[in-house]
Amino acid sequence: VDVHRSLLSKNDHEAAHLREHFRADGVTVINLMGSPGAGKTALLEATARALGGTRRLAAVSGDLATTHDADRLLRAGIVAETITTGTACHLEARMIHDVMHSERLREAIHAGDFFFIENVGNLVCPAIYDLGQSANVVALSLTEGVDKPLKYPVMFKNADLVVLTKLDLLPHLADVSLAAIRDNISRVSPRAAVLALSATSGEGIAAWTDWLESSRLGASQARAGAQPLLQLGRRAP
């Protein structure tokens, strides 16, 4: 327990450092979490389609293996890198710091409007590791059933927004209702906003990009102080 607490405290320190850089860059950072297959990558692909070049997007995808997700994001026009976690079931602040060695990513974040951190697919551990984000977004597929907020309370308590995905499948899910999921979310997280959408049909995507734009205001107010993120990990000239 002490080892765990000490690791978390070290992570918080590193996350605070990242957050300073992100604020200086005026980039809004979204920590996107959810189960495997919740549709996190599909949501970011749909985001790129919807924002259609009006916003500059950067992303990292955390995965135990493969570069599939970052490859998909690159094809969607997002500057993206992979963080390969091996056996780790979550991202930590030092992994975000390390991936800034990619100059391409660093510059995309520095000049960017949104930086999406697509976490490892997992409803448990990612919730407790601060990554310097502006907001926590949890993607929950409607196919996962209505009781997940009650069964994974820490993840939902820490959410600023819960995005209910795969709305196009709702007519085929006999035991699922949006009202029941919303009710369960509000029980563990009264302050979390909730949106339902389908990355496939596009339904609800406009409300999501509206939410992104509104989340941007707070970040831009803090656009002063600290050195630009660009200098993170930069070699001496």
Strand partners, 138: 33, 162
Dist CA 2 CA 66 (whole Å): 33
> Which residue's entry shows tokens 């969607």?
76
Q: Which of the 8 DSSP states describes residue 226? A: S
Segment interacting with a second copy, rule: CB under 8 A, options 12-20, 47-55, 146-154, 227-235? 146-154
Stretch that binds a second copy, among 14-22, 46-54, 150-158, 189-197 (CB under 8 A): 150-158
Q: Does 206 bind a second copy (CB under 8 A)?
A: no
Q: How many residues bind a second copy (CB under 8 A)?
A: 37
Q: How far apart are CA 47 and CA 39, in angstroms?
A: 12
**Residue 26 touches a second copy, criterion: CB under 8 A:** no
Window 31-50: contact mask with a second copy (x via CB under 8 A) = ----xxx-------------
Q: For the sheet containing 57-63, what is the strand order?
A: 79-84, 57-63, 114-118, 28-34, 135-141, 161-165, 193-196
Say whether residue 169 binds a second copy (CB under 8 A): yes
Q: Does 14 sit near a second copy (CB under 8 A)?
A: no
Q: How far is the CB of 117 from a second copy (least distance, A)?
A: 17
SS (H, E, C) 47-114: HHHHHCCCCCEEEEEEECCCCHHHHHHHHCCCEEEEEECCCCCCCCHHHHHHHCCCHHHHHHHHCCCE
Residue 84 found at the interface with a second copy (CB under 8 A): no
SS3 of residue 120 by DSSP:
coil
Q: Is 92 in the site for a second copy (CB under 8 A)?
A: no
Single out the residue of 193, 142, 190, 186 nearest to residue 164, CA to CA. 142
Does residue 125 interact with a second copy by CB under 8 A? yes
| Residue 158 contacts a second copy per CB under 8 A | no
172 near a second copy (CB under 8 A): yes
Closest by alpha carbon to 71, among 58, 82, 86?
82
| Cα–chain center distance at 153 | 18
Q: Whole-angstrom Cα distance, residue 1 to residue 21?
A: 31
Contact of 203 with 168, CB cutoff 8 Å: yes
Q: Does residue 71 bind a second copy (CB under 8 A)?
A: no
Stretch that binds a second copy, among 17-25, 49-57, 100-108, 167-175 (CB under 8 A): 167-175
Tell me if 152 contacts a second copy by CB under 8 A: yes
Residue 186 near a second copy by CB under 8 A: no
Q: Which segment (50-58, 131-139, 163-171, 218-226) binds a second copy by CB under 8 A?
A: 163-171
List contacts with a second copy (CB under 8 A): 3, 35-37, 63-66, 68-69, 87-89, 120-125, 128, 141, 143-145, 147-148, 150-154, 166, 168-169, 172, 174, 200
